[in-house]
A and B are shown apart, each in its own frame.
Chain A
Amino acid sequence: MKKTGIYGALSTIGLMAGLAGSATAQEDTFKIGIITFLSGQAAESFGVPALNGGKLLIDMMNKGDALPAPYNTKGFGGLNIEYVVVDEAGGATKQVQEFRNLVQREEVDAVLGYVSSGDCLAVPPVADELKAFTILYDCGTPRVFEDGKFEYVFRTAAHATMDNISLARYLKSRNFDVPSYAGLNQDYAFGQDSWADFTASMKQIYPDAEIKTALFPKFGAGQYGTEISALLREKPALVHSSNWGGDLQGFLIQATARGLDKRSQLVLSAGDHVIPQLQDKMPDGIFLGARGVNGLAAYARGGELKELTDTMWDAYEAEYGVFPVQAPFRMWQALFGLKTAVEKAMADNGGKKPSDEELVAAMKGLEWDAPSGHIEMALADGHQAIQPNAIGTTKWNADAGKMELVDVEYYAARCVNPPEGVLAADWIAQGFPGAECD
C-alpha cells in the first residue's frame, strides 16, 4: 500500500506515541482490512455472519492443514493473515474516510468489504486514486462496473441480476402457472432494482402474466398489515419480495398469520438468511434464493465441492451453533479468491509478498473454487465475478427439527449472468441471448 507524506508523518507520530499498534506492514504477514456492518439493520443478517465466517476461515487458513486441497497451505502462500475490522455503518462519506484510514494509516495489504451498494459505488474511485487493492465481497448493484471502470477494484460475487433471473427460470422449470403476480420490496435501491430485474425477466419468460400491484414500503417499516390486505385483495398467483433482515421476518410473520402464503406463492430472492431465526415459523413451500449457491442450497448440492463445503459448514456450526447462510459464503468466496490471487502473484514474483499491482494482475480473470461454486472473474475485463445460482423450496423437517431446501434447481453461471460487455438490463430485455443453460 502507498503511504503519502502527511499520512506517513501522522503514522510515524502515532507509532512514537504508541498509538499505532500494529500499523506497520510486515513482510511475513498479509494484513486485510475487513469492512462490514457490525451495527444497524444489516449487521444481524449480513455483517456479523460474514465477519464470523471470515474470522473462522482466516484462522483455518493460518493453521495450514484445516482445509482440503488446494487450500491446505498456511495462510496466503506462507504469509500469516492478520485483519482489522471496521464497522460499515455510517454512510458512504464515512466509509470513504474509513477506507483512507485503512490504506494510509493501517497500511493494510488488501481491503475486503462492503455490503451496501452505496458504499460499493463510493469507494472504488478512492481505491483507484490510492492504488489500493480492494475486493467488494457482498454488494449487489450491477452499476459498479457497468457505470465505471476501476483498475484496483474487484467484486468476487455476482451482481444481483442473477437472483431474479433465476427465480423466473425456476418458476418455468417447475411449470408454475403465473397468470398474475405482485411485488413487495423495500423502498431503496436494492428493492427497486430487484423488482425491475424480476419484472423484466418475467416479461421474457411469462409474457402474458399481469402485474397486479407493486408495493414499496419504506425500509424498516415493520408493519405490513395494509400491504398484506392489498395483496390478499388482489389475489396474485405469486408475490415476489427481495426483502431481507427484520423487514422480511416481520413480513413473513404477519403474512403467514393472515394466510397470504396459502393464497399466493411467495418467492423470495434473498431470503435464506432468516431461516435460522424463524425456523418452523418460515412457511413451507416458499421459493427461495440465497444470492448464489449459498447456505442450504450449497449443503444440498454435493459433488466435487462437497468436502470443502462440509468442512466450512461443520466448522461454522461448531463455532457459532447455527448453520451458515448466504453472508459467510460470500465472505468465504472472497477469501478463497484472495488466497488464490496472492499465491498466484507470489508464484509469479519469486515468492515475495505481492504488491498491489501484482495482486491486480493475478486477480484479473481469475477462477477458483469456493463452497458457493466455481467463481470466474469473467465480466468487466476480469474485475467482476460470475457464479452459479440455485433456487429451492422450503420444507420443514419436523423429525430433524430443521428447515430443508427441496426441489433445488442449480443454474450455471452463464445461464443467469450476462456475457462480457452486455449490460444486465439489456441482456434481460433482449431475451438472454447467449445464455448457456444446461
Chain B
Amino acid sequence: MDLLATIVVDGLIYAGWLFIVSLGLTLVFGVLNILNIAHGSLYAIGAYASASLVGAYFAVGGDAFPYGSYAALILAAVLVAVVLGPLLERGLLRYFYGRDEVLNVLVTYAVFLILEDVMKLIWGVNPYFVYEPYTLLGDVEIGPLFYVGYDFAVIAAAIVVGLAVWLTLNRTQIGKVVLAVIHDAEMSQTMGVNVQRIYLGAFTAGAFLAALGGALTAPMISVTPGLGANVIIVAFAVVIIGGLGSVPGAAIGALMVGISRAASVHLLPEAELFIVYFVMAIVLMFRPEGLFAKTKARKI
C-alpha cells in the first residue's frame, strides 16, 4: 500500500507540472492549428525570467517577506507572455496561417533555435538558482516519506489553471467565441468575430502557460541552457495521448504519463523512458487522434 501511495503521489506531482506545460501547447494547437515547437523555449525563458526576478526580489530586501517570491514567479510568466506572445504571433506566425502544418512546425522550430541563442545572449551559459521558494512551504509527511510542500503547490496551480482554462472556454462568452473560431475560423470571421484577436489572445495564453511551467520549475532546478528541449518532447507525448487541442485530454494525458512513469521508476527503472512512449503507442493504436480529440468533418 505504501508503494501504491508513493507511486500515485509521485505521479501526481510530475503530472501537475507536465499538465501546465502541455495545456499551453494543446491550447495553441486547438485555436491556431500550430504545433508550436518554440513552446519549449517559452518554458525555458519563463524559468530564466523567474530566476532573475526572484533573485532581484531577494536582492532588494525580499527576505523580510519571502512569500512575495511566489508573486515574482507568476509575474515573470506574465511578463514573458505579454512580451513574447504578441511578438511571435503578430510578428511572425500570422504570416503562416492557413499554410501547410509542416511548414508551421519548421517555422516554430526555427524560432526555438533562435530563442535558444537569445537566452544565451541574455543570461549566458552559467546556471541560475532560486531555491528559496522551493523550501518555504515546508515538508509534507506521507507514510515513510517526506515531500516538499512546494510540489503540492504545483499540483494546486495545475488544477487552478486547468479549471480556469476549461471554465473560460466553456462558461464564458469569449470562450464560446474561441470555440467558434476553433470550429470554423472562416465562418466566425463572416459572423463578425475578430479572429486575429482571438489568435493573439490564445497564443499569448499558451505562452503564459509555458512560461508559468518554467517559472514554477525554476526553484527546484538549476536553470541552464537547453532546458526547453527535454520538456517539449514529453509535452508532445502528453497532448498526443490526450488528443491535440483538448483540455481534458491534456489532463488525462499528463496523469497517464505521470503515473506510468512513477510506476516504472519504482518497479522497473530500466523502462522509465520507454514507458511514456509505450503508453502513447497503445493509445494511438486504438485512438489514432488521441483520447479526447473530436472527429473532424472533412471540408469540401
- The answer to the question of B262 belonging to the interface, with a C-beta cut-off of 8 Å to chain A, is yes
- The answer to the question of B272 belonging to the interface, with a C-beta cut-off of 8 Å to chain A, is yes
CA distance A41 to B224 in the complex (A): 7
Chain A's interface size range is 35 or more
CA distance A226 to B135 in the complex (A): 18
Given the interface pairs A226-B10, A233-B266, the reply to whether A43 lies near B225 with Cβ below 8 Å is: yes
Contacts of A218 in B (CB 8 A): 230, 272-273
CA distance A232 to B265 in the complex (A): 13
Given the interface pairs A218-B273, A223-B217, the reply to whether A277 lies near B129 with Cβ below 8 Å is: yes
- The answer to the question of B147 belonging to the interface, with a C-beta cut-off of 8 Å to chain A, is yes
Given the interface pairs A48-B125, A233-B3, A257-B148, the reply to whether A217 lies near B131 with Cβ below 8 Å is: no
- The answer to the question of B226 belonging to the interface, with a C-beta cut-off of 8 Å to chain A, is yes
A44, B3: Cβ atoms closer than 8 Å: no
A258, B146: Cβ atoms closer than 8 Å: yes
Interfacial residues, chain B to chain A (CB-CB below 8 A): 2-3, 6, 9-11, 13-14, 17, 120, 125-127, 129, 131, 134-135, 139, 144-148, 151, 217, 220-227, 229-231, 261-262, 265-266, 269-270, 272-273
B145, A246: Cβ atoms closer than 8 Å: no
- The answer to the question of A215 belonging to the interface, with a C-beta cut-off of 8 Å to chain B, is yes
B18's nearest neighbour on chain A, judged by CB, is: A223
Partner-binding segment picked from A93-101, A117-125, A247-255: A247-255
B262's nearest neighbour on chain A, judged by CB, is: A226
Contacts of A367 in B (CB 8 A): none
**Chain A: minimal CB distance from B255 (Å):** 14
Contacts of B13 in A (CB 8 A): 225-226
B142's nearest neighbour on chain A, judged by CB, is: A229
CA distance A257 to B261 in the complex (A): 22
Contacts of B146 in A (CB 8 A): 232, 258-259
A222, B145: Cβ atoms closer than 8 Å: no
Interfacial residues, chain A to chain B (CB-CB below 8 A): 38-41, 43-44, 48, 187, 213-218, 220-223, 225-227, 229-230, 232-233, 245-246, 249-250, 253-254, 257-259, 277-278, 281
Pull 20 A–B residue pairs with CB atoms less than 8 Å apart, ordered by A.
A39-B225, A44-B126, A216-B270, A220-B226, A222-B227, A223-B17, A226-B13, A226-B262, A229-B6, A230-B269, A232-B145, A233-B145, A233-B266, A245-B224, A249-B222, A250-B220, A253-B129, A253-B222, A254-B220, A258-B147
**Chain A: minimal CB distance from B258 (Å):** 9
Q: Which secondary structure dominates chain B's binding surface?
A: helix
CA distance A249 to B220 in the complex (A): 9
Contacts of B221 in A (CB 8 A): 222-223, 246, 249-250, 253-254
**Chain B: minimal CB distance from A136 (Å):** 22
Contacts of B223 in A (CB 8 A): 246
B145, A39: Cβ atoms closer than 8 Å: no
Contacts of B10 in A (CB 8 A): 225-226, 229
Which 7 A-B residue pairings sit nearest by Cβ, starting from the closest?
A: A249-B222, A246-B224, A250-B221, A226-B10, A43-B125, A246-B222, A226-B265
CA distance A226 to B10 in the complex (A): 5
Q: Among the listed B11, B125, B148, B220, which residue makes an inter-chain contact with A44, where contact means beta carbons less than 8 Å apart?
A: B125
B145, A253: Cβ atoms closer than 8 Å: no
Contacts of A220 in B (CB 8 A): 226-227, 229-230
Q: Which of B127, B225, B229 has the most CB of A within 10 A?
A: B127
B265, A44: Cβ atoms closer than 8 Å: no
Known: A215-B269, A246-B224, A257-B135. 11 other contacts (CB 8 A): A43-B225, A44-B125, A220-B227, A222-B221, A222-B227, A233-B6, A245-B222, A246-B223, A253-B134, A254-B220, A281-B131
